[in-house]
């Protein structure tokens, strides 16, 4: 297993070198989005509407951060179960999404979309939301404000520790193979 220090802007060009099980310290811009926001993003795509951020080359973190305590950019910011985004992820990957961050296995359609689009699925440590928040330097709510903690936020992270869960070659760290 290799270790990498990467910026989110490099994920699209560096995805081919990443292998399942590799460790990554990730810095840069990430967008938080969970299932309700994903449903809206897909609806906007299907209706030809404008998205709140450019998908091409972006990284989505499956999280619903809590409000920031004094002196911090964000509250607890742990990953949510990625499988809830599986119905939406292939379309977002086909539209240029370079990476997803979450926890847990993905279905076969998502695995195929990761390979097809030379993307990557990164896993964060579940249950460590307060620790993860220390990696967030900035947070701005940018869309779907009515969703509260599940609104889309643009966050700037620094040295966020992740593990490559599924690589663009079909490799996976999950026992079930690509499922």
Contact 78, 132 (CB under 8 A): yes
| Separation of alpha carbons 123 and 101, rounded Å | 6
* Residue 169 covered by a domain: no
List the domain range (segments joined by +) for residue 49: 3-164
| Separation of alpha carbons 59 and 94, rounded Å | 13
* Residue 53 covered by a domain: yes
Contact 111, 172 (CB under 8 A): yes
pLDDT tens-digit readout, 96-116? 999 999 999 999 999 999 999
83 burial class (0-12, 13-18, 19+ CB within 10 angstroms)? middle
* Residue 49 covered by a domain: yes
CATH code, 35: 3.20.130.10
Number of domains comprising the chain? 1
pLDDT tens-digit readout, 154-163? 999 999 999 9
* Residue 176 covered by a domain: no
Least confident stretch, 18-27, 68-77, 101-110:
68-77
Question: For 73-99, what is the mean pLDDT?
Answer: 96
* Residue 35 covered by a domain: yes
């Amino acid at each position: 297993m290799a270790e990498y220090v990467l910026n989110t802007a490099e994920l699209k060009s560096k995805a081919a070198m990443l292998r399942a099980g590799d460790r990554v310290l990730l810095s840069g811009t990430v967008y938080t989005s969970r299932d309700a926001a994903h449903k809206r993003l897909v609806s906007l795509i299907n209706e030809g509407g404008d998205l709140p951020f450019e998908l091409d080359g972006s990284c989505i973190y499956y999280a619903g951060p809590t409000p920031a305590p004094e002196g911090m950019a964000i509250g607890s910011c742990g990953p949510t179960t990625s499988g809830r985004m599986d119905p939406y992820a292939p379309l977002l990957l086909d539209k240029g999404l370079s990476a997803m961050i979450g926890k847990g296995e993905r279905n076969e359609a998502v695995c195929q979309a990761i390979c097809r689009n030379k993307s990557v699925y990164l896993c964060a440590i579940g249950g460590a939301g307060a620790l993860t928040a220390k990696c967030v330097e900035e947070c701005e709510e940018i869309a779907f404000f009515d969703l509260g903690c599940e609104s889309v936020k643009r966050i700037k992270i620094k040295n966020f520790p992740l593990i490559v869960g599924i690589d663009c070659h079909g490799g996976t760290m999950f026992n079930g193979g690509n499922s």
